[in-house]
Amino acid sequence: MKDLSNILIFSGILLFLELLYFRVAKKFGITDQPNYRSSHQTSTIRGGGIIFTLAILLYGLLTHTYHMWFLAGLTIISTISFLDDIRPRNYKVRMFIHLAAVALLFIQTGIFDLPLVLIIVSLFFVVGTINAINFMDGINGITGVYGLLTLATFLYINETMQNFIDSGYLIASIIGVAIFLLFNFRKKAICFAGDIGSVSLAFILLFFMLSLIIITGNCSYILFLLVYGLDVVTTIVFRMIRKENVSEAHRSHFYQYLVNDRKMSHLMVTLIYTMVQLLINIVVLHYRISVISDIILILMTTGILFVIIRFIFEGSNKLLTGVKNN
């Protein structure tokens, strides 16, 4: 799908589907109401990220270029996430569906052909990444813009370095995210991604990432999600230090601190996170990082730097005890 006319037609169809969803969501009250953890103040349509799944399924349907196991996994994980957006589902049921979807993803990408230890590591990475991207979906634009950067990076690799997937799937995903951003990347968002958006986008990104890693044998591509990973992991560690229940809802992420305490705009924080990730992506691609020791060095260095930044901004009292500095 590289012809401009096809791209425009595809974009028009997705835009129509997104607007149609808005009408359905308004009619059935699929909205996000602000609460004490929210970074928004008004009722907003939830589930606008359904367009991510629709983009992939529509492209597969129109071109008959099926990745059946992946599409099946995407469909079931998107369905349970959408139902959860409408009304919270039983955690055990949701987890079972997620694991089933991940199993289908592993079949599609060939993960099950790897040694058992790598399958286990992959399982923890994939489940952790899906939850991390879901946790980070808390301010306007951040899911869409960050996802757009990651997809664009994969497209660049696919076109110039290593062909690992039909580019049409990447372009379709980019169009879907771009349409979502028309309504989300603004001071007052018209819609939020919802669980269906953050979870499905995570699943899509992981499909591309795992496909690329399997073909190249290069694990450095996990660094394309490094900024999100740093925020989530450090937040969990600090919450454990404060002896908080890490499974309970909270507003302890660094991006939430910047928005809620430092009063930075959603769009500014989104752009900061994305620009830092862009620099990391450029380093990974420019220096062709592939050696495990180099990857570990980058993880350790950026991790230490991020912790220092959090101490400078948030202060030791807030991070270690939960009490703000006077």
What confidence tens digit (pLDDT) does each residue in 195-212 have?
999 999 999 999 999 999
The reply to whether 326 falls in a domain is no
The reply to whether 53 falls in a domain is yes
Measure the CA–CA gap between 57 and 220, rounded to whole angstroms.
28
Q: How confident is the model at residue 41 (pLDDT cuts 50, 70, 90)?
A: low
> How high is the pLDDT of residue 35?
59
> How high is the pLDDT of residue 38?
52
The reply to whether 273 falls in a domain is yes
> How high is the pLDDT of residue 313?
96
Q: Tens digits of per-residue pLDDT, 117-139?
A: 999 999 999 999 999 999 999 99
The reply to whether 94 falls in a domain is yes
Burial class (CB in 10 A: 0-12, 13-18, 19+), 313: middle
pLDDT at 58 exceeding the cut of 70: yes
pLDDT at 255 exceeding the cut of 80: yes
> How high is the pLDDT of residue 322?
82
> How high is the pLDDT of residue 225?
98
> How high is the pLDDT of residue 287?
95
Q: Tens digits of per-residue pLDDT, 226-252?
A: 999 999 999 999 999 999 998 888 899
> Domain range holding 194?
4-321
Q: Residue written as tokens 């953890």?
A: 37
Kindly report which listed range (44-53, 126-135, 248-257) carries the lowest average pLDDT score.
248-257
Structural contact between residues 204 and 58, judged by C-beta atoms closer than 8 angstroms: no
> How high is the pLDDT of residue 180?
98
The reply to whether 300 falls in a domain is yes
Query: For residue 292, how many other CB atoms are within 10 A of its CB?
Result: 11
Structural contact between residues 164 and 158, judged by C-beta atoms closer than 8 angstroms: yes
**Cβ-count burial 197-217 (b if 16+ within 10 Å, e if not):** bbbbbbbbbbbbbbbbbbeee
Q: How many domains does the chain have?
A: 1
pTM of the model: 0.96
